[in-house]
């Protein structure tokens, strides 16, 4: 499997926000969001190929009970299946962070799905822009993922108009309960997040969704390995 980095930090988003965790960041993504905060896994993918057993050994050196398998898109890598199973057998609590466009039969304690809204489109016309638009929404895949594990859905919100898209999306996948939906402000600085949170917090409350912080950005800024 291709790995960008393995590091210990604090989960910044969603249900386990604030929880110390080991992160395994795979490299490679089938999408190209303009706001991608890990371009070294998508636009300019970096990182060596490693055997999943070697990655397992590295993760188990940390004592943290929580492990996050993230990307890029971790579900593009078949070795994530034996890795996630081995981590759970070792007693680790496994979160998988995915955009929900590809399915693999992975073992997870939390399937954290972040479908990409139209606000994620690459801004300049390109082969990637067309591919991104074609592939970014797969409600059929999301339905399979949420049937397989406890789950949460996280949506990156850039502007108030994005909220209608979230409501429409959730309506189209009736298995999604409103209290499993988290709205997160788009931004790569604490100031960006704070200004969007001002209007996003009351909107989330009104819609019955949850508001997610992005603690890693608040604490560490836009820094690799955090």
Positions that interact with ligand SF4 (CB under 6 A): 29, 31-33, 36, 38, 41-42, 71-73, 99, 116
Q: Which is nearer to ligand SF4, 86 or 215 (CB)?
A: 215
> Least Å distance between CB 122 and ligand SF4?
9
Q: Which is nearer to ligand SF4, 28 or 213 (CB)?
A: 28
Please tell me the distance from the alpha carbon of residue 100 to that of residue 144, in angstroms, as a whole number.
Answer: 9
> Least Å distance between CB 74 and ligand SF4?
10
> Least Å distance between CB 204 and ligand SF4?
21
Please tell me the distance from the alpha carbon of residue 162 to that of residue 215, in angstroms, as a whole number.
Answer: 22
H or E element, residue 59:
helix 52-60
Q: Which is nearer to ligand SF4, 12 or 71 (CB)?
A: 71
Tell me if 25 sits within 8 A of 41, measured CB to CB: yes
> Least Å distance between CB 185 and ligand SF4?
15
Alpha carbon 38 to chain centroid, angstroms:
11
Please tell me the distance from the alpha carbon of residue 35 to that of residue 58, in angstroms, as a whole number.
Answer: 30
Task: Count the helices and strands in the chain (H runs, E runs).
Answer: 7, 8
Q: Which is nearer to ligand SF4, 86 or 157 (CB)?
A: 157
> Least Å distance between CB 60 and ligand SF4?
25
Tell me if 28 sits within 8 A of 41, measured CB to CB: yes
Distant-in-sequence, close-in-space partners of 55: CB < 8 Å, separation ≥ 6: 1, 3, 6, 24, 83
> Least Å distance between CB 114 and ligand SF4?
7
Distant-in-sequence, close-in-space partners of 131: CB < 8 Å, separation ≥ 6: 30, 32
Please tell me the distance from the alpha carbon of residue 60 to that of residue 182, in angstroms, as a whole number.
Answer: 30
Q: Which is nearer to ligand SF4, 20 or 45 (CB)?
A: 45
Q: Which is nearer to ligand SF4, 42 or 197 (CB)?
A: 42
């Amino acid at each position: 499997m291709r790995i960008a980095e393995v590091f210990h930090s604090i989960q910044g988003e969603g249900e386990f926000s604030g929880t110390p965790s080991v992160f395994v960041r795979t490299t490679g993504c089938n999408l190209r969001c303009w706001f991608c905060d890990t371009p070294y896994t998508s636009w300019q993918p970096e990182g060596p190929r490693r055997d999943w057993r070697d990655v397992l050994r590295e993760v188990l050196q940390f004592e943290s009970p929580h492990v996050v398998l993230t990307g890029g898109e971790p579900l593009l890598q078949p070795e994530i299946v034996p890795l996630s199973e081995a981590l759970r057998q070792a007693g680790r609590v496994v979160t998988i962070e995915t955009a929900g466009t590809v399915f693999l039969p992975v073992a997870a304690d939390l399937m954290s799905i972040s479908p990409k809204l139209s606000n994620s489109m690459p801004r300049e016309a390109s082969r990637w822009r067309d591919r991104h638009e074609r592939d970014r929404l797969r409600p059929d895949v999301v339905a399979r993922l949420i049937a397989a594990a406890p789950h949460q859905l996280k949506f990156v919100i850039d502007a108030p108009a994005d909220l209608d898209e979230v409501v429409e999306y959730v309506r189209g996948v009736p298995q999604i309960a409103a209290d499993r939906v988290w709205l997160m402000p788009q931004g790569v600085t604490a100031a960006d997040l704070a200004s969007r949170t001002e209007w996003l917090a009351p909107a989330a409350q009104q819609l019955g969704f949850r508001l997610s912080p992005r603690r890693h950005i608040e604490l560490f800024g836009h820094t690799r390995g955090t």
